[in-house]
């Protein structure tokens, strides 16, 4: 996931942590939240997980086990309440209705992404939906999201068991969402020196290369190829992908990882503008 903690790579929640981590993008997918130093959530991590302002750490729900046998400690957002048919239900005090705001993170939406067929993602656990009250969600070692009032994420694993995750953040208004997107762009544009600094501290080769792979109106995609350092990312060589789209009062993210020790068809970043367009179409349905 650049995309909650499995032994993941970031851009993870999604470990995710769209992305959401699915541990997936590196679990694309997914983050964690707090009011001080924000823990990171990467794609190869499980989807991002918020920490309450009064607590420095957040543990995974008892029923949320990592689907990755190599995964380390993981942090993931609490699952949304489930109805008897297994679908997420609207929680009490949910402003605007959680159930009505799940289009962008429904697994069937992933089929609309140009890269889905080659990577074969499947849901890794249920949709998580949580109201936020001041928590900061860390997406990876470089970027965080602050100021959202509602946060949803869905984790995935690819056929090669690389993580991915979708995440959807709702804000009080369009200006707040745009501010969060702009901060994310600045953080990711500075991610290469940030990542190399982490590598230097951890004693691994300082080989991180972060590239902007596509830009559209209110949307940007990045890739980071580097030797991971463990912790919130997987160790060893990997490429993390992060996509961000701003629309009105919400921010839609998708993250996924490509780990060298889990071979899969290489992702063609030439399709990233199309991926951003597909994500924008999903978000527009909310």
pLDDT tens sequence across 144-175: 999 999 999 999 998 888 888 999 999 999 99
Q: Is residue 215 assigned to a domain?
A: yes
Label residue 231 by pLDDT band (50, 70, 90): confident
Q: Is residue 158 assigned to a domain?
A: yes
* 111: pLDDT strictly greater than 70: yes
Residue-level pLDDT at 102: 77
- Of 21-35, 40-54, 137-151, which one has max mean pLDDT? 137-151
- Provide the number of structural domains found in the chain: 1
Q: Is residue 201 assigned to a domain?
A: yes
Label residue 33 by pLDDT band (50, 70, 90): low
Residue 218: exposed, middle, or buried by beta-carbon count in 10 A (0-12, 13-18, 19+)?
A: middle
Q: Is residue 85 assigned to a domain?
A: no
Label residue 263 by pLDDT band (50, 70, 90): confident
The CA distance from 25 to 9, in Å, is: 7
Q: Is residue 249 assigned to a domain?
A: yes
Residue-level pLDDT at 254: 94
Q: Is residue 13 assigned to a domain?
A: no
User: What does the chain look like in DSSP terms, one character per residue?
Assistant: -----SS--SSB----------SBBBTB---EEESSSPPP-BTBSPSPB---TT-S--PPPTT---S-TT------PPBPPB-TTS-B-PPTT-TT-SGGG-GGG-GGGGGGSTTHHHH--EE-S--EEEE-SS-EEE-SSS-EEES-SEEEEEEEE-TT--EEEEEEEE-SSHHHHHHHHHHHHHHHHTHHHHHHHHHHHHTS----EEEEEEEETTEEEEEEEEEEESTTS-EEEEEEEEEEEEETTEEEEEEEEEETTS--PPP-GGGHHHHHHHHHHHHHT-
Range 227-232 average pLDDT = 88
Range 242-262 average pLDDT = 93
- Number of C-alpha atoms within 13 angstroms, CB side, residue 217? 4
The CA distance from 191 to 182, in Å, is: 14
Q: Is residue 230 assigned to a domain?
A: yes
pLDDT tens sequence across 185-202: 999 999 999 999 999 999
Average pLDDT of the chain is 72
Q: Is residue 68 assigned to a domain?
A: no
Range of the domain at 148: 32-52+96-284
* 93: pLDDT strictly greater than 60: no
Provide the CATH number for the domain around residue 112: 3.40.1000.70
Decide: 199 and 193 in contact? Cβ < 8 Å. no
């Amino acid at each position: 996931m650049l995309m909650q903690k499995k032994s993941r790579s970031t851009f993870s929640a999604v470990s995710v942590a769209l992305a959401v981590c699915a541990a997936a993008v590196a679990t694309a997918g997914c983050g964690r939240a707090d009011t001080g130093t924000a823990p990171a959530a990467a794609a190869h991590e499980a989807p991002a997980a918020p920490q309450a302002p009064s607590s420095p750490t957040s543990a995974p729900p008892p029923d949320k086990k990592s689907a990755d046998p190599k995964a380390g400690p993981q942090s993931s957002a609490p699952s949304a309440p489930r109805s008897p048919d297994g679908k997420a239900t609207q929680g009490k005090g949910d402003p605007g209705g959680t159930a009505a705001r799940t289009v962008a993170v429904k697994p069937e939406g992933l089929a609309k992404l140009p890269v889905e067929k080659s990577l074969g993602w499947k849901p890794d656990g249920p949709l998580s939906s949580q109201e936020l009250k001041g928590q900061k969600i860390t997406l990876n070692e470089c970027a965080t999201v602050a100021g959202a009032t509602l946060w949803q994420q869905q984790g995935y694993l690819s056929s090669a068991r690389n993580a991915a995750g979708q995440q959807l953040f709702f804000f009080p208004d369009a200006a707040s969402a745009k501010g969060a997107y702009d901060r994310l762009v600045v953080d990711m544009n500075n991610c290469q020196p940030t990542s190399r600094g982490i590598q230097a501290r951890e004693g691994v080769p300082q080989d991180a290369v972060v590239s902007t792979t596509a830009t559209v109106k209110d949307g940007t995609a990045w890739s980071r190829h580097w030797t991971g350092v463990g912790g919130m990312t997987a160790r060893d060589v990997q490429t993390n992908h992060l996509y961000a789209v701003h629309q009105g009062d919400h921010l839609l993210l998708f993250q996924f990882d490509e780990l060298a020790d889990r071979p899969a068809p290489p992702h063609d970043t030439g399709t990233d503008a199309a991926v951003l367009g597909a994500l924008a179409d999903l978000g527009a349905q909310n």
